[in-house]
Amino acid sequence: MPPAAPDRLPSPEAMRSVFRVYEVSEAEEGIHYYGDPLVDRERLVEAVWPEFRAAGYEVRLERRLGEYVLVATPQGTDDGVPWTNVILAVATIFSTLLVGTQWYYVEDLFSPAILQALPFTLAVMGVLGTHELGHYVLSRYYDVPASLPYFIPFPSIIGTMGAVIKVKGRIPNRRALFDIGVAGPLAGLVATVVVTVIGLSLPPVQVPEWVMAAESTVEVQFNYPLLLQAIAAVMGQPLSYADPRLVVNPVVIGGWVGMFITFLNLIPVGQLDGGHLLRAMVGPAQERIAPLVPLSLFGLAGGLYALTDAGQMVTVWVIWGFMAMLAAWIGSASPVVDTPLDRRRQLLGVATFALGLLCFTPVPIEITGL
């Protein structure tokens, strides 16, 4: 007679066609089913996963000391206040405010004048947060446990390194992998377009004389991608001015941030959004395509080094090349059920990658002395 399992979990008898269980034990990490697989690993997990998921558990097949064991672990819960998310969000608000004071030329950082930079903070936090909430909402829709966004404060020229969410469960199928992956870039792009339109509608900022006269002053030039240029052209608004004392409203920089982050996230490798989309669209063949991504980034860096004087961005693309190598080595998410996508989603994936290219510029930033 097969050993008994806890009432809340599938019984050994329920999986007898794919896994013959001879022992069930409870450990700190979860419930262990020891037995003999009757099918290959992929078919086994695909067969037993739905019942475990319905019971609130994730399941994986391992080999321990020569024995096969199905390890069932409880799915994470989001009970209580997510203090880590709150603290990081507050820290990122503060870091983007501090950076924003440079774009609004605020002299006294320890006064209410710092709030002049609030539009920049709202723009950056808005596009990043909307992107991650797109992933979060679709994760919830497919009943895949996921965290709220983690914002990352960082003393860069935009005050942050972006935001992420943590997916805590297996992805049920390619459709869910695609929908969760594509929701972030598309939601983020909608927010980015809104922010860009608002920014272009606001008056430019005038550079104070004390900034123009300072010997240590440097000029940070944002080179705008095709999508941002197109929005400006449709609105009939300039992105530069004949008067060097005038610069675009910093809210436009928030739109630039949204487009740059969208492009980076759509790089088709590993755990990036683009890697998830490509894995959902082409299946395991994604592993053959992934090595081409770091080569492309190294090629971009080499081209810039040979043909331009954009030394700073050469380093950036080299770093991203190594990051893409690591991402390719780690690999993308593997859905439990690996059936092909429908044609509608395939076309949406192609369109999303095309939008990502419209957010690309080879030299996003140039920093020079005045």
Long-range contacts of 36-40 (CB under 8 A, 24+ apart): 36/68, 37/61, 37/68
Which of 53, 74, 95 is at the close of a domain? 74
pLDDT at 132 over 70: yes
**Domain co-membership, 95 together with 234:** yes
Would residue 103 count as lying in a domain?
A: yes
Which of 74, 94, 115 is at the close of a domain? 74
Long-range contacts of 211-215 (CB under 8 A, 24+ apart): 211/105, 212/244, 212/245, 212/370
Lowest model confidence (mean pLDDT) among 207-211, 245-249, 284-288: 207-211
pLDDT tens for 176-186 read 999 999 999 99
Predicted confidence at residue 254, as pLDDT, reads 95
**Domain co-membership, 247 together with 282:** yes
Residue 41: band (very low, low, confident or very high) from pLDDT cuts 50, 70, 90: confident
Which of 54, 74, 94 is at the close of a domain? 74
**Domain co-membership, 255 together with 112:** yes
Would residue 296 count as lying in a domain?
A: no
Side-by-side strand order, sheet with 67-74: 19-27, 30-37, 67-74, 57-64
Count Cβ atoms within 10 A of the Cβ of residue 30 and give its class: 0-12 exposed, 13-18 middle, 19 or more buried.
Answer: middle
Residue 170: band (very low, low, confident or very high) from pLDDT cuts 50, 70, 90: confident
**Domain co-membership, 157 together with 52:** no
Higher pLDDT, 153 or 368: 153
Neighbours of 52 (CB within 10 A): 24
**Domain co-membership, 96 together with 43:** no
H or E element in which residue 223 lies: none
**Domain co-membership, 18 together with 52:** yes
- Alpha helices (runs of H) in 63-115, residue ranges in sequence order: 83-104
Would residue 205 count as lying in a domain?
A: yes
- Is the separation of the CB atoms in 195 and 251 below 8 Å? yes
How far is Cα 356 from Cα 32, in angstroms, rounded to an integer? 44
Mean pLDDT of 200-228: 83
**Domain co-membership, 252 together with 194:** yes
Bridge-partner residues for 74, per DSSP?
57
Residue 264: band (very low, low, confident or very high) from pLDDT cuts 50, 70, 90: very high
Q: Length of the chain in residues, anyone?
A: 370
How far is Cα 231 from Cα 233, in angstroms, rounded to an integer? 5
Which residue range forms the structural domain that includes residue 43?
Answer: 12-74
Neighbours of 110 (CB within 10 A): 6
Encoded amino acid at 96, one letter? T
H or E element in which residue 66 lies: none
**Domain co-membership, 27 together with 155:** no
Count Cβ atoms within 10 A of the Cβ of residue 15 and give its class: 0-12 exposed, 13-18 middle, 19 or more buried.
Answer: buried
How far is Cα 226 from Cα 248, in angstroms, rounded to an integer? 17
Residue 60: band (very low, low, confident or very high) from pLDDT cuts 50, 70, 90: confident
**Domain co-membership, 50 together with 185:** no
**Domain co-membership, 26 together with 156:** no
How far is Cα 166 from Cα 146, in angstroms, rounded to an integer? 5
How many structural domains compose the chain? Answer: 2
**Domain co-membership, 107 together with 150:** yes
- Is the separation of the CB atoms in 360 and 225 below 8 Å? yes
Mean pLDDT of 39-53: 88
**Domain co-membership, 127 together with 220:** yes
